[in-house]
Amino acid sequence: MDAPSSPHLQDAFTDAPLLKKDILNHITSFPQTLDLFERISRYIIDLKSSTAAFDKDGPATKRRKLENTPGSQLELVTKSDLATEIGTQSSLLRLPDISFSIPQRKKFTVVLTSSALGALGPTGALEFGVFFKDVDYVACLPVPEKTARQWNFCIFVKNSHGISDTETDPLLFTVTDNPTKGNTSVSEYGDMKQNIITTLNRLLPVTVIEPAPAVFQSLTANSYRKSETSYHVKSHLGIKEGFLFFLENAILWGFKKPLYCFKFDSIESSSYSSITQRTFSLTIRTPDQSGGKEVEFSMIDQVEHPAIDNYLRKNQLKDASMAEARRAKIPSSLAKENLGAKSELQAAEDEIAGMAHDDTDDDDDDDYEEDSNGDDMGSDDSESDDEEGGSVAGRAVNNLAEDELGSELEEVELTDDEEVEED
């Protein structure tokens, strides 16, 4: 039996096609409820009309902000198209109660069709989503510092990587180790994470990327799950604490707004700065065509430096730590004063070389005296050995002092009284 025709119902639920479909199915099974849903539909239409009138005559600043937001009209059109897609196409995967962090911190039902992913609210209305053709990067990352296993799915479309001037939000949602609940349709996997990855890999133009030990692994032990490898590096973006992930073709930072995705082709150079005994900073610069931004991630533990440095070198992400723009500038007045003059380091090296020459001459004199009095010194071999050992040890100490003091090393001369007293 076909559902009764209801123009009011069609107009009232244009933005909630799944809900409209369920209502029509209910009316088909219970025709007596048609009048009730007609009245509900008229009420919703009147409510929408009054809301539209308020928006039209409402605060001008609010209207201007919406009208001037880059891509806002496009997003409205996309949402309408997405609602139609989600409502008319069969669901390949349906996952209720999925926690989102971006663009909204809320639970939604995730629906995957053959060409789109949508997040549905409690009424079945589409809140947001993406067409798969617009997706250019997806990563599935373990959520750090959690006792129970969780994974964050990061879905990026063009201009959602955090590095351009006209940014839209990526999608960020979390799944757990629990079996998939709800209508999973074509999936044969009970594991929710693998279920999503397998489905997305069939539908997306790109492959879902996961961390791998061969690509990068943290040198810090996983204190929450000791038997597992950590793939994140704790860092700060300004005052926000987050995590860097070094993947096979991109560097990601999350999981707070803004979520950053530096694909290799969007990295012009990398550099280190603010290096201390315990921490350092990593700065990533993007090319001018990608926004020309420099993003600094600070307070990275020095323990992680070998792994990060090896990753950057292996992937030929240019190290600009000693680039001309980052070197300390010498004032022109000081440069003129020191033109042609020896540096302190050079002066110290010359001084140490002169002292070493004097020590050699003294040793030669001692050898001459020992040769002329060989018979007298024969019985004092052990004493001579002690003195010679003391002389060698003394020179070793002097060399260490020279290394430590550098340009501050000064030659100390004994006074006549001190020489007599020493003898």
| Three-state SS at 22 | helix
In 3D space, the residue among 267, 266, 283 whose CA is nearest the CA of residue 275 turns out to be 283
Across 247-360, the runs of DSSP E, i.e. the strands, are 250-254, 260-263, 269-273, 279-285, 294-301
pTM metric for this prediction = 0.62
Lowest mean pLDDT among 17-21, 31-35, 142-146, 353-357: 353-357
The predicted pLDDT at position 100 comes to 97
Band of pLDDT at residue 17, cut at 50, 70 and 90: confident
| DSSP-derived secondary structure letter, 3 | P
Supply the mean pLDDT for the chain: 75
Band of pLDDT at residue 190, cut at 50, 70 and 90: low
The predicted pLDDT at position 322 comes to 53
**104 vs 357, which has greater pLDDT?**
104
Q: Decide whether 73-210 matches 232-326 in CATH topology.
A: yes
- pLDDT (average), residues 39-59: 65
- pLDDT (average), residues 398-414: 43
Ordered by start, the domain boundaries in the chain are 1-68, 73-210, 232-326
Band of pLDDT at residue 203, cut at 50, 70 and 90: very high
Band of pLDDT at residue 386, cut at 50, 70 and 90: very low
The predicted pLDDT at position 180 comes to 53
The predicted pLDDT at position 300 comes to 97
**Parallel, antiparallel, or unpaired: how do β-strands 269-273 and 260-263 relate?**
unpaired
* Cα-Cα end-to-end distance for the chain: 124
Other CB atoms within 10 A of residue 26 CB: 14
Residue 390 confidence (pLDDT) above 80: no
Band of pLDDT at residue 191, cut at 50, 70 and 90: confident
The Cα 396–Cα 390 span in angstroms is: 10
- Indicate the CATH number for domain 232-326: 2.30.29.30
Highest-scoring range by mean pLDDT, 41-50, 209-218, 220-229: 209-218
Highest-scoring range by mean pLDDT, 69-83, 336-350, 358-372: 69-83
Architecture of the domain spanning 73-210: Roll (2.30)
| DSSP-derived secondary structure letter, 213 | T
Residue 382 CB contacts under 8 Å (≥ 6 apart), including other chains:
none
The predicted pLDDT at position 323 comes to 52
Q: What six digits make up the tokens of 414?
A: 């004994």
The predicted pLDDT at position 154 comes to 97
pLDDT tens readout for residues 204-213: 999 999 999 9
**412 vs 351, which has greater pLDDT?**
351
The Cα 408–Cα 189 span in angstroms is: 71
The predicted pLDDT at position 19 comes to 81
The predicted pLDDT at position 155 comes to 97
- pLDDT (average), residues 268-282: 94
Angle between helices 34-57 and 17-29 (to 10 degrees): 160
Band of pLDDT at residue 41, cut at 50, 70 and 90: confident
Residue 389 confidence (pLDDT) above 80: no
- pLDDT (average), residues 174-199: 72
| DSSP-derived secondary structure letter, 30 | -
Residue 407 confidence (pLDDT) above 70: no
Kindly state the percentage of the chain with pLDDT values over 70: 64
pLDDT tens readout for residues 64-118: 343 344 443 334 446 788 888 888 888 899 999 999 999 999 999 999 999 999 9
Q: Which long-range contacts (CB under 8 A, 24 or more apart) does 397-402 make?
A: 398/355, 402/352, 402/355
